């Protein structure tokens, strides 16, 4: 099978969150099963700066409203995956990947240029797998604008929704001005969402199948409360809508061979490993330990992640003499609030604002508990990484967190591998912390649960198999 992924980020070139991990790990797993995989990405400045040698593939223009924008298409083969880069200085030679006023136009260009790029792939494509709003318009473009083009004949489209909060809401003039689509599609409501043009909704309507990244999140998206407005449109596609739980990359995330941590360890050497890595983590943040549990968080700092609850809970943890360390970046006000917390507890609270992969590894290995009280979480990778390192995740029971954490609730039966709470409020989180501290006081019990967490199989093997089955099924569809 020849599969093309189109996404706004993928490891090892560009990452802001789990999307990059998933696009890369799924592709690698598919390659190891003998499939051919290409990934199309924007050629961001941060990739250009790496100075990687690229192969020139083609040059072409994309009509963007009243002007043409040039695309240079490059290629790089790495670990059996063909990466294709869409280069255009005007749109992508910028400091950050996102958060510009014209993101709508930037990714409209990316989607249009990626569709054209498919022409330059050597082998006939079977599946185009588009991820999130930035690429979600591609199935619509092909169905409406390329239906007579033999290059695209027979291609099936899979859309994965990683984050339904971002729907690609664009002004209606994008429909005809940028995408050359008929206004009629907007007028009859096919690509319209809450009065605007939505690339994500269009993707849901036009893709052959739609997936999201956990079974529970699929169920949530079909409800009014958890659907983020998409429930009715997803209900219409219910039979073609699947929930497949992500995995994590065991090459990157394995304490027995992690080059970033002070002391490598496995299940047998967990106690000593935890102890030495914790000391190293506290040293990295220049913190003092007063004998309490060490809580950590690695996250995009945005409302989705329950940062308001963490701010409140961290204050209470710190006031009891515990440690709290954070690595993250995101909304400026949230960053400032965490900085203020550090000022208040300088010798027990560590805050690092920014992106830092090495420090992320140290946190997963060195903490006792990992905080992830998300308001919603389509899958979440951090809780699975924490488990892999024998660090117990404290999560809200939502989306993929509900699917991957079996909560300790006062009794150790041999199945528990983390902590969960239901209601999104401080009392809910307080309860989980109360249980966590109870477990921490019983060190034997804590390590028993931590070992169960380490034993979980979150490898990509199962998830990749599920995607393959889905690709095969969709290829058989008329």
Q: Footprint of ligand GLC on this chain (CB under 6 A)?
A: 17-19, 22, 162-163, 213, 246, 377-381, 400
Distances (CA, A) of 97 to 61, 86, 109: 22, 13, 14
Contact status: 317 vs ligand ADP (CB under 6 A): no
* Of residues 276 and 297, the one with the C-beta less far from ligand GLC: 297
Contact status: 393 vs ligand ADP (CB under 6 A): no
Structure tokens at 100: 């510009």
CA distance linking residue 335 with residue 29, whole number of Å: 36
* Of residues 54 and 164, the one with the C-beta less far from ligand ADP: 164
User: What is the nearest approach in angstroms of ligand GLC to the Cβ of residue 217?
Assistant: 8
39 within 8 A of 83, measured Cβ to Cβ = yes
Partner touching 213 among ligand GLC, ligand ADP, none, CB below 5 to 8 Å by kind: ligand GLC
User: What is the nearest approach in angstroms of ligand ADP to the Cβ of residue 201?
Assistant: 21
* Of residues 118 and 200, the one with the C-beta less far from ligand ADP: 200
Nearest CA among 169, 198, 42, 13 for reference residue 106: 42
CA distance linking residue 399 with residue 305, whole number of Å: 12
Phi, psi of 306 (to 5 degrees): 70, 35
User: What is the nearest approach in angstroms of ligand ADP to the Cβ of residue 393?
Assistant: 10
**168, 328, 373, 399: residue in contact with ligand ADP (rule CB under 6 A):** 328
Burial (Cβ within 10 Å: 0-12, 13-18, ≥19) of residue 224: exposed
Q: Residue 200 is inside which H or E element, if any?
A: helix 199-206
Stretch that binds ligand ADP, among 15-23, 82-90, 189-197, 313-321 (CB under 6 A): 15-23
Number of residues that bind ligand ADP (CB under 6 A): 18
Partner touching 419 among ligand ADP, ligand GLC, none, CB below 5 to 8 Å by kind: none
Stretch that binds ligand ADP, among 39-47, 356-364, 430-438, 453-461 (CB under 6 A): 356-364
Partner touching 12 among ligand GLC, ligand ADP, none, CB below 5 to 8 Å by kind: none
* Of residues 165 and 311, the one with the C-beta less far from ligand GLC: 165
**357, 442, 462, 469: residue in contact with ligand ADP (rule CB under 6 A):** 357
Burial (Cβ within 10 Å: 0-12, 13-18, ≥19) of residue 58: middle
126 within 8 A of 1, measured Cβ to Cβ = yes
User: What is the nearest approach in angstroms of ligand GLC to the Cβ of residue 212?
Assistant: 8
Contact status: 329 vs ligand ADP (CB under 6 A): yes
Partner touching 28 among ligand ADP, ligand GLC, none, CB below 5 to 8 Å by kind: none
* Of residues 7 and 73, the one with the C-beta less far from ligand GLC: 7
Contact status: 321 vs ligand ADP (CB under 6 A): no
* Of residues 135 and 270, the one with the C-beta less far from ligand GLC: 135
Q: Which of residues 140-199 bind ligand ADP (CB under 6 A)?
A: none
Listed in order, strand segments (DSSP E) in 354-433 are: 369-372, 392-396, 419-421
37 within 8 A of 81, measured Cβ to Cβ = yes
137 within 8 A of 104, measured Cβ to Cβ = no
144 within 8 A of 151, measured Cβ to Cβ = no
DSSP 407: B
Phi, psi of 161 (to 5 degrees): -95, 110
* Of residues 72 and 302, the one with the C-beta less far from ligand ADP: 302
Side-chain half-sphere CA neighbours of 194 within 13 A = 12
CA distance linking residue 20 with residue 12, whole number of Å: 8
Contact status: 134 vs ligand ADP (CB under 6 A): no
* Of residues 11 and 62, the one with the C-beta less far from ligand GLC: 11
CA distance linking residue 383 with residue 363, whole number of Å: 12
Question: Residue 169 forms beta bridges with which residues?
Answer: 198
The residue nearest ligand ADP at its CB is 18
Listed in order, strand segments (DSSP E) in 341-382 are: 349-353, 369-372
Partner touching 284 among ligand GLC, ligand ADP, none, CB below 5 to 8 Å by kind: none
Phi, psi of 400 (to 5 degrees): -65, -20
Partner touching 255 among ligand GLC, ligand ADP, none, CB below 5 to 8 Å by kind: none
Q: Which of residues 296-315 bind ligand ADP (CB under 6 A)?
A: 298-300
> Which residues form the interface with ligand ADP (CB under 6 A)?
17-19, 21, 298-300, 327-329, 355-357, 360, 379-382
């Amino acid at each position: 099978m020849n599969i093309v992924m189109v996404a706004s980020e993928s490891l090892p070139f560009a990452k802001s969150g789990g999307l990059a991990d998933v696009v890369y790990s799924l592709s690698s797993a598919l390659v190891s099963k003998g499939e051919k995989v290409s990934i199309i990405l924007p050629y961001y400045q941060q990739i250009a700066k790496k100075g990687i040698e690229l192969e020139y593939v083609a040059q072409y223009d994309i009509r963007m409203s009243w002007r043409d924008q040039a695309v240079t298409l490059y290629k790089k083969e790495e670990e059996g995956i063909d990466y294709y880069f869409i280069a255009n200085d005007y749109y992508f030679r910028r400091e950050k990947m996102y958060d510009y006023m014209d993101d709508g136009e930037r990714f409209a260009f990316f989607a249009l240029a990626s569709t054209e790029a498919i022409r330059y792939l050597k082998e006939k494509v079977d599946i185009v797998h588009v991820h999130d709003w930035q690429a979600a318009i591609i199935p619509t473009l092909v169905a409406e604008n390329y239906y007579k083009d033999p290059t695209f004949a027979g291609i099936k489209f899979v859309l994965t929704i990683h984050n339904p909060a971002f729907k690609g809401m664009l002004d209606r003039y994008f429909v005809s001005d940028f995408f050359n689509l008929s206004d009629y599609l907007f007028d009859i409501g096919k690509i319209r969402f809450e009065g605007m043009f939505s690339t994500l909704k269009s993707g849901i309507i036009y893709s052959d199948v739609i997936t999201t990244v956990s079974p529970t999140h699929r169920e949530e998206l079909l409800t009014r409360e958890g659907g983020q407005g998409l429930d009715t449109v997803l209900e219409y596609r219910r039979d073609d809508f699947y929930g497949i739980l992500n995995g994590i990359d065991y090459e990157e995330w394995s304490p027995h061979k992690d080059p970033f941590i002070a002391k490598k360890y496995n299940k047998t050497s967990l106690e000593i490993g935890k102890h030495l890595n914790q000391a190293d983590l506290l040293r990295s943040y220049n913190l003092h330990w007063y004998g309490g549990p060490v809580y950590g968080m690695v996250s995009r700092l945005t409302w989705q992640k329950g940062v308001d609850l963490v701010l409140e809970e961290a204050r209470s943890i710190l006031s009891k003499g515990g440690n709290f360390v954070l690595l993250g970046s995101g909304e400026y006000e949230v960053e400032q609030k965490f900085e203020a917390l550090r000022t208040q507890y300088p010798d027990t609270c560590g805050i690092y604002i920014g992106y830092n992969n090495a420090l992320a590894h140290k946190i997963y290995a060195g903490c006792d508990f990992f905080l992830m009280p998300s308001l919603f979480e389509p899958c979440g990778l951090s809780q699975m990484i924490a488990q892999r390192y024998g660090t117990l995740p404290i999560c809200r029971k939502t989306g993929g967190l509900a699917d991957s954490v079996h909560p300790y609730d006062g009794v150790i039966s041999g199945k528990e591998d983390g902590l969960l709470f239901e209601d999104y409020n401080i009392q809910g989180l307080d309860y989980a912390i109360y249980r966590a501290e109870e477990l921490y006081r019983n060190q034997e019990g804590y390590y028993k649960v931590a070992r169960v967490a380490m034993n979980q199989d979150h490898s990509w093997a199962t998830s990749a198999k599920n995607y393959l089955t889905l690709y095969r099924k969709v290829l058989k569809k008329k």
